[in-house]
Amino acid sequence: MARSDKSKKAPGKAKKWLVRGLKIGLVGAVAGLVAIGVAVFIAMQSLPDYNSLKSSPNGQMIRVHAADGSVIVSLGPSFGRWLSYDQIPSVMVDAMVSTEDRRFYMHPGVDPVGMARAAWVALERRGSGRRWQGASTITQQVARNIFLNNSYSWGRKVREMVLAMALERKFSKQQILELYLNKVYFGGGAYGIDAASRKFFGHPAQSLDLPEAAIIAGLVKAPSSYSPTADAEAAIGRAGVVLDLMQENGKISAADHANANLAGVRMAPEPPQNSVRYFTDWALPQLDTLIDEPNEPLEVYTTIDLGMQNAATAAVKANVSNGMQGALVSLDRDGAVRAMVGGLDYVTSNYNRATTAVRQPGSAWKIFVYMAALEAGYTPDTGVTDEPVTINGWSPRNSNGRFAGAIDIRTAFAYSINTVAAKLGVEVGFPTVADMARRFGITTPINTHPSMVLGTSDVRLIDMTRAFASIARKGVAVTPYGITKVTTADGRMLYQHQDDTSRVLVAPWVAAGMTDLMQTAVSTGTGRAAQIGRPVAGKTGTTNSGKDGWFLGFSSGITTGVWVGRDDAKAVPSLYGGRAPAHAFADYMKVAVAKRPVEQFETQVTLPEWQLEPDEEAYYGQPDNGMEGGMMVDENGLPIDRARPAGSEAEDEEDTAQPDPADRPAPPRLDQQWIDNVLGRTPRQRQPAQQRPDNP
């Protein structure tokens, strides 16, 4: 009887404890809900407004375009144009919701079904070290991307859930989707669907079609693994999964799925990343002075011509031997930089020898001497005398050790005769020559020692090329530029280049006379290797002991300067401006002007005096100029001792110099008939040199 009473009491006691437990659980659940509600309310009150959430403080995107509009480089994190919800293609919204959060429109920011599934997966994977999957809604991802980080901890997960519910309470589903689609990371530096669309497909996100939207939606799970530029096959495979999910959710039909040609999607080509970077490194810092827009993504349109850039790179590499470097700058007639090579390889050396390096130009500097003389009254036919000369203890010599006697200015320039340049410098004044160089854009310090007429002042290649371009423009100043216009991602114009033709540096007849001299130098003088089958005007330059070789010239509206030498400024035997630099010029210009009409100069080539044989120019010649009482000068034009002890710098340079490439065969000897045939003119009687009456 007692046992029966106890058995009756046991179920009643268990029921009592069960009820008590349910009450406690209910109270705890209510308390938890209240706590969550309070936390959500507090979080909601602390959330910034929607416009603040739209801001992108992670950096500014800059896309740089070539002259043909193609993208050559993208810099910074890529935040494309912000698209409102109404501007986003519905197919993109459907693809993203189907893939990332199919119950997005039903949950309050946290998906209980997804959480239960994630908990079950976590239970199955316990001890494996693999993390939770499938628990985050789109709203949670927005909260994490804006307010939190990607660390995996229970504390961060709870904060993420609270923030997600707060976002859902404060903003609409459409606003949350707008935030998500404009901020989520798709790989390759692209944040948001517009940046991703421009990077991978080359067009704005508004024109995304179904296959493209599927590819983009598939990237969120693992951007690096499914990037179409890194692994197109993996990207297409993942996009197929997205299409399956869209069909399951009723967003597309089976026919739409079947007609989505993923393999036919055209990917935007990857921009070049080597030699063109010399140009972008030079051009982009100029944005700070052109515009004032620190936040919006920018579209920068430049002058660089990719075909000409490739030809310039190939020409420099083909004519520069081991141990040496080369640089090239090419300007259009208004100063637009069409090609820029700052070295043999940007990856191994990003030092820009075209715009930053300063080297001595040698006889290329003589254009300033001769322009000063032309402005003072000389003409190409003015008679001068090639003879020994000593100026303040300095006795320049010619490379062949001989003196030609009575010649004209044209002949002296064509064969780069040093004694005549020195005498012209004395007559017009060395400060006048320096002023002429300043007028034409030389920005580096200029010395006024007598030897300055032979190019002892350091210059930059881009400045020298600018000077030659101003001569080609008939004396009107040319300023190199690389940016034609800058717009925002939505097309708002921030800057547009305007050509300035107001600065006249010399009278047109001075520029025409200089063109006459330079055309003759290429046709019959030291620059013969620069011939390209159409009129070319230019000048070679060679410095002491072959440390630097230059050729600068123009044809058909394109002006190009080439420098060859060593970074350590050591001498290179047989390095002359009329060899490797002139050959590189010709190789490049044949491509650069191929599609341009042939342009005749206003002056015609006149054959120089033929008692001279074409000879390689020299800076100072050999260590001893062979003149009684003569003195040599250093690179600053100061007198130095004639004797050099064993182990001197000159001997060291000779010992360590690298060999020059094998010489190319010289072109055939030219005569007046050949010149007439090339220029398409009838033979004419040559005029005798005109002796300038007051010439010493």
Last residue of a domain, one of 200, 227, 259: 259
Same domain membership, residue 207 and residue 321: no
Same domain membership, residue 223 and residue 336: no
Tens-digit pLDDT profile for residues 294-309:
777 889 999 999 999 9
- Give the per-residue pLDDT at 608: 59
CATH number at residue 118: 1.10.3810.10
**What would you measure as the largest C-alpha separation in the chain, in angstroms?**
153
Tens-digit pLDDT profile for residues 183-216:
888 887 788 899 889 888 888 999 999 999 999 9
Is residue 206 domain-resident?
Answer: yes
Q: Is the pLDDT confidence value at 599 over 60?
A: yes
Of 653, 664, 516, 452, the closest CA to residue 576 belongs to 664
Q: How far apart are CA 37 and CA 121, in angstroms?
A: 28
**Burial class of residue 142 (count of CB atoms within 10 Å of its CB; 0-12, 13-18, 19+):** buried
Contacts of 114 (CB under 8 A, 6+ apart): 101, 103, 134, 135, 136, 137
- Compute the 3-state secondary structure of the chain and give helix, strand, coil in percent, each to the nearest 5: 45, 15, 45
Same domain membership, residue 316 and residue 227: no
Same domain membership, residue 427 and residue 491: yes
Asked if residues 329 and 560 have their Cβ atoms less than 8 Å apart, the reply is yes
Same domain membership, residue 498 and residue 436: yes
What is the β-pairing status of strands 71-75 and 62-65?
A: antiparallel
Please report, rounded to a whole number, the percentage of residues in the chain having pLDDT higher than 90. Answer: 48
Is residue 302 domain-resident?
Answer: no
Same domain membership, residue 416 and residue 321: yes
In the structure, what pLDDT confidence band is assigned to residue 505 with cuts at 50, 70 and 90?
Answer: very high
Is residue 641 domain-resident?
Answer: no
Q: For residue 578, what are the CA distances in angstroms to 343, 399, 546, 583, 666?
A: 20, 14, 12, 8, 11
Which one of 121-135, 522-536, 679-693 scores highest in mean pLDDT?
A: 522-536
- Give the per-residue pLDDT at 155: 65
Same domain membership, residue 544 and residue 446: yes
Mark 148-169 as b/e (b = at least 16 C-beta within 10 Å): eeeeeeeeebebbbbbbbbbbe
Query: In residues, how long is the chain?
Result: 696
Q: How far apart are CA 398 and CA 393, in angstroms?
A: 17
Q: Is the pLDDT confidence value at 2 over 60?
A: no
Please report, rounded to a whole number, the percentage of residues in the chain having pLDDT higher than 70. Answer: 74
Backbone angles phi, psi at 551, to 5 degrees: -145, 130
Tell me the residue type at 34: V
Contacts of 489 (CB under 8 A, 6+ apart): 61, 80, 81, 194, 296, 297, 298, 299
pTM above 0.75, yes or no: no
Helix (H) / strand (E) element for 483: namely strand 483-488
Q: Is the model more confident about 12 or about 414?
A: 414
Is residue 535 domain-resident?
Answer: yes
Is residue 473 domain-resident?
Answer: yes
Q: For residue 117, what are its two tokens? A: 């599934």
Q: Which domain holds residue 88?
A: 81-122+134-259
Tell me the residue type at 290: L
Contacts of 369 (CB under 8 A, 6+ apart): 421, 424, 425, 428, 433, 453
Q: How far apart are CA 462 and CA 118, in angstroms?
A: 63
Q: How far apart are CA 48 and CA 55, in angstroms?
A: 11
DSSP string for 237-294: HHHHHHHHHHHHTTSS-HHHHHH--GGGPPPPPPPP-STHHHHHHHHGGGHHHH---S
Q: How far apart are CA 307 and CA 593, in angstroms?
A: 11
Of 269, 275, 272, the closest CA to residue 347 belongs to 275
Across 102-111, 116-125, 139-148, 576-585, least confident range: 116-125
Is residue 691 domain-resident?
Answer: no
Asked if residues 598 and 419 have their Cβ atoms less than 8 Å apart, the reply is no
Mean pLDDT, residues 153-158:
68
Gyration radius (Cα) of the chain, Å: 37
Q: Is the model more confident about 546 or about 354?
A: 354
Asked if residues 100 and 220 have their Cβ atoms less than 8 Å apart, the reply is yes
Asked if residues 229 and 200 have their Cβ atoms less than 8 Å apart, the reply is yes
CATH number at residue 340: 3.40.710.10
Mean pLDDT, residues 441-470:
95
In the structure, what pLDDT confidence band is assigned to residue 616 with cuts at 50, 70 and 90?
Answer: low
Tell me the residue type at 154: W
Q: How far apart are CA 521 and CA 417, in angstroms?
A: 11
Is residue 478 domain-resident?
Answer: yes
Which one of 65-79, 324-338, 670-684 scores highest in mean pLDDT?
A: 324-338
Contacts of 380 (CB under 8 A, 6+ apart): 408, 409, 410, 513, 516, 517, 520, 603, 606
Find where tokens 């603040």 sit: 52
Contacts of 13 (CB under 8 A, 6+ apart): none
Same domain membership, residue 333 and residue 235: no
- Give the per-residue pLDDT at 459: 97
Residue 622 DSSP one-character state: S
- Give the per-residue pLDDT at 663: 44
Of 662, 671, 410, 678, the closest CA to residue 532 belongs to 678
Q: Is the pLDDT confidence value at 156 over 80?
A: no
Q: How far apart are CA 453 and CA 173, in angstroms?
A: 76
Q: For residue 686, what are the CA distances in angstroms to 171, 499, 561, 620, 675?
A: 89, 41, 32, 33, 12
In the structure, what pLDDT confidence band is assigned to residue 675 with cuts at 50, 70 and 90?
Answer: very low
Q: For residue 581, what are its two tokens? A: 């630099």
Of 309, 367, 321, 363, the closest CA to residue 554 belongs to 367
Say how many CA atoms lie within 13 Å of 64 toward its Cβ.
Answer: 25
Q: How far apart are CA 303 and CA 487, in angstroms?
A: 15
Number of domains forming the structure of the chain: 2
Same domain membership, residue 459 and residue 580: yes
Mean pLDDT, residues 645-650:
30
Is residue 689 domain-resident?
Answer: no
The three state secondary structure string of 530-573 is HCCCCCCEEEEEECHHHCEEEEEEEECCEEEEEEEECCCCCCCC
Of 412, 415, 414, the closest CA to residue 425 belongs to 412
Mean pLDDT, residues 408-435:
94
Asked if residues 603 and 560 have their Cβ atoms less than 8 Å apart, the reply is no
Contacts of 246 (CB under 8 A, 6+ apart): 94, 95, 98, 99, 214, 252, 257
Last residue of a domain, one of 593, 622, 654: 593
Asked if residues 337 and 324 have their Cβ atoms less than 8 Å apart, the reply is no
Same domain membership, residue 499 and residue 377: yes
Per the DSSP assignment, residues forming a β-bridge with 560 are 330, 553
The count of other CB atoms within 10 Å of the CB of residue 240 is: 17
Give the strand order in the sheet containing 185-187: 78-79, 190-191, 185-187
Same domain membership, residue 252 and residue 360: no
Helix (H) / strand (E) element for 382: namely strand 382-386
Same domain membership, residue 443 and residue 317: yes
Q: Is the pLDDT confidence value at 638 over 50?
A: no
Q: How far apart are the first and last CA of the chain?
A: 151
Helix (H) / strand (E) element for 10: namely helix 2-46
Tens-digit pLDDT profile for residues 327-366:
999 999 999 999 999 999 988 888 999 999 999 999 999 9
Helix (H) / strand (E) element for 2: namely helix 2-46
Give the strand order in the sheet containing 382-386: 405-408, 382-386, 690-691
Last residue of a domain, one of 546, 578, 593: 593
Q: Is the pLDDT confidence value at 600 over 50?
A: yes
